[in-house]
Structure 1
Amino acid sequence: MHRVLTGRLAIEELTVTIAGLSSRLKGLRLVQMSDFHFDGLRLSERLLSQAISASNAADPDLVVLTGDFITDDPSPIHELVTWLGKLQSRYGTYAVLGNHDNLRRRSRPEVTQALTNSGIEVLWNQIAYPVGAELPLIGFADFWSYEFKPEPIMTQIDPMQPRLVLSHNPDSAELLRSWRVDLQLSGHTHGGQVILPGLGNVAPYMPRLYNQLPKRWQRRLPMLKSCARTMRHWEWAQGLHQLGDNQLYINRGLGTYLPGRLFCPPEVTVITLV
């Protein structure tokens, strides 16, 4: 069942140009992983082990995790962190939380504490400097939370200063256009999950399809409603996007959700900065 839902792991490698990047940091290598949904159903331990091995084999300077570690119940985070604690990098592992990590009252503190105890630094509207002052790493609260407020954070940094941003939901990139974002790393979309040959990603059609259905059919298809509301900018479902002067990369994630994945493999991303 896991193999049917998730497919074979893909290692996506790309090079991203950062204007004004310090010569000391040229060639800096990041690994991004996202959307684990670790609950015993949506991510097999076999796939998770492969992802961690792939990350370590890339010999990264920095590992970043962009949210949705759990699905509903936060308790599986305690098993997940025993796996994530095996991640290796020169400057450590940093994370932001996703909407599923914030669903229940106890989810956010429990997930945050478990990650922190395993040596992973969780950023919630915070700035970190894991590779030095030349390249701040900004981690935002989840876009759907009341605490997503970028202005007090972004205005702390010189506008001429290159920076990396972690934000679980790619829709946040629209608001972040008001500031310099050399590279935003996001997840949330699972790549759209269903890719049909000749048609491509079906996710962008979901809102239109749902809105055109009669009300009685809308009530019978709650999952379609959920898919339609997951994202506004489904055109940003996966890959690298240029948004004016800003850059946005969306990782397809490791876990899945109903109806599962079709021709949309889970992903570990290896990014080299130049």
Structure 2
Amino acid sequence: MTDESKEVERIDRRKLLKRVGLGVLGMLGVGTAYPMLEARMCQLSRRVVALPKLPPSFRGLTVALLTDLHHGPFVPLAYIRHVVDLTNSLKPDLILLAGDYVSVNPRYIAPVCGEVRRLEAPLGRFSVLGNHDHWESTFESKAQLDRAGVEQVDNRGTWLRRGSDRLRICGVGDLWTDHQDLPSALGDADEDDAVILLSHNPDFAESVRDPRISLMLSGHTHGGQVVVPGFGAPFSSSKFGAKYLGGLVQGPACPVFVSRGVGTTGPPVRLLCRPEVVLLTLT
């Protein structure tokens, strides 16, 4: 091999190594950026849920479930606005909000509730508070939800009626930061009634034995927020591990649907765990 050929080979090798190096850096950059991008890739999740005691006039009812909006420094109001617009585009019969509207600072409560105010559903909008709402300001969270015209069902409930049929919508206080008064939430419901219970934290289901509850709706766990292929979610905010990370789960006394939520806490990232707006169709 001539000296000139050797020099050309060295140049080609340097070019190859440079390209490989740039490719590796690019992949690392994408790998670092993607989880932050996924945290804003809110998807629509449609599920059909059977409630055996659902009255005939409520069959086919559509329920939009929103939880864990977590408006704060890392979850911008523009993203919340997009989620509200997506929810309204579904034209749900009923909207249920399962808590954690805010993160980090109480100054974010009024803006996020201003967006929640735009939610539209002919049968109403009902909510409970989550642990972050209590941590930032219980008083302000309740006041702003009142201003938004959202009915709060923490430890209480109400009846939706269609003719002689009725459906109970109720809730309990957050498991970490409030008390849970299930008898007050259930009111005069009997075992022949259909009852939907809101509880921000799905772990509450493990202490429930009342047969009147047809379905519990929750959030809180974010689906783990980060899911590692072949391993699962390294972290869960539930005492019961992966059981209540997301989807429809059977609790001791009733089925529990857990939404992965809309926002994030801690690092503003998601991996293989996209945020979601849930649209349930009751049959």
Hey, what does 2:255 align to over in structure 1?
247
**More RCO (CA 8 Å, sep 6+):** 1
Q: CA 1:85–1:155 in structure 2 vs 1: closer, same or farther (change >3 Å)?
A: closer
Whole-angstrom CA distance in 2 between matches of 1:53 and 1:155: 34
**Alignment partner of 2:193: what SS?**
coil
1:88-111 Cα distance to aligned partner (Å, 9 max, x none) = 11112111000111125xx11111
Hey, what does 1:97 align to over in structure 2?
129
Q: Which amino acid counterpart does residue 45 of structure 1 have in structure 2?
A: L
Hey, what does 1:113 align to over in structure 2?
143
Hey, what does 1:10 align to over in structure 2?
43
Whole-angstrom CA distance in 1 between matches of 2:183 and 2:90: 34
Q: Which amino acid counterpart does residue 270 of structure 1 have in structure 2?
A: L
Hey, what does 1:82 align to over in structure 2?
114
Is the 8 Å Cα contact of residues 202 and 219 (structure 2) preserved in structure 1? yes
Whole-angstrom CA distance in 1 between matches of 2:160 and 2:76: 31
Cα root mean square deviation, aligned = 2.0
- TM-superposed deviation, 1:17: 0.6
1:269 aligns with 2:278: yes
- TM-superposed deviation, 1:5: 6.3
Is the 8 Å Cα contact of residues 34 and 251 (structure 1) preserved in structure 2? yes
1:201-230 Cα distance to aligned partner (Å, 9 max, x none) = 2225xxxxxxxxxxxxxxxxxxxxxxxxx3
- TM-superposed deviation, 1:70: 1.3
Is the 8 Å Cα contact of residues 156 and 172 (structure 2) preserved in structure 1? yes
1:214-257 Cα distance to aligned partner (Å, 9 max, x none) = xxxxxxxxxxxxxxxx3212321111112355110011111101
- TM-superposed deviation, 1:155: 6.0
Hey, what does 1:207 align to over in structure 2?
none
| Larger-gyration structure (1/2) | 2
Superposed, which structure 2 residues align to 1:1-274 within 5 Å?
Answer: 3-4=36-37, 6-41=39-74, 43-104=75-136, 107-131=137-161, 134-154=166-186, 156-203=188-235, 230-234=237-241, 235-243=243-251, 246-259=254-267, 260-274=269-283
Q: CA 1:146–1:110 in structure 2 vs 1: closer, same or farther (change >3 Å)?
A: closer
Q: Which amino acid counterpart does residue 30 of structure 1 have in structure 2?
A: V
Is the 8 Å Cα contact of residues 62 and 282 (structure 2) preserved in structure 1? yes
**Alignment partner of 1:200: what SS?**
coil
Q: Which amino acid counterpart does residue 231 of structure 1 have in structure 2?
A: S
1:176-216 Cα distance to aligned partner (Å, 9 max, x none) = 23333211110100110111112222225xxxxxxxxxxxx
Q: CA 1:153–1:85 in structure 2 vs 1: closer, same or farther (change >3 Å)?
A: closer
**Alignment partner of 1:103: what SS?**
helix
Hey, what does 2:24 align to over in structure 1?
none
TM-score by length of 2: 0.81
Whole-angstrom CA distance in 2 between matches of 1:11 and 1:195: 19
Is the 8 Å Cα contact of residues 153 and 185 (structure 2) preserved in structure 1? no
Is the 8 Å Cα contact of residues 92 and 130 (structure 1) preserved in structure 2? no
**Alignment partner of 1:51: what SS?**
helix
| Structure 2 alignment gaps of length 5 or more | 1-32
Whole-angstrom CA distance in 2 between matches of 1:20 and 1:5: 38
- TM-superposed deviation, 1:73: 2.1
Is the 8 Å Cα contact of residues 261 and 276 (structure 2) preserved in structure 1? yes
| Structure 1 alignment gaps of length 5 or more | 205-229
- TM-superposed deviation, 1:168: 0.1
Is the 8 Å Cα contact of residues 66 and 167 (structure 1) preserved in structure 2? yes
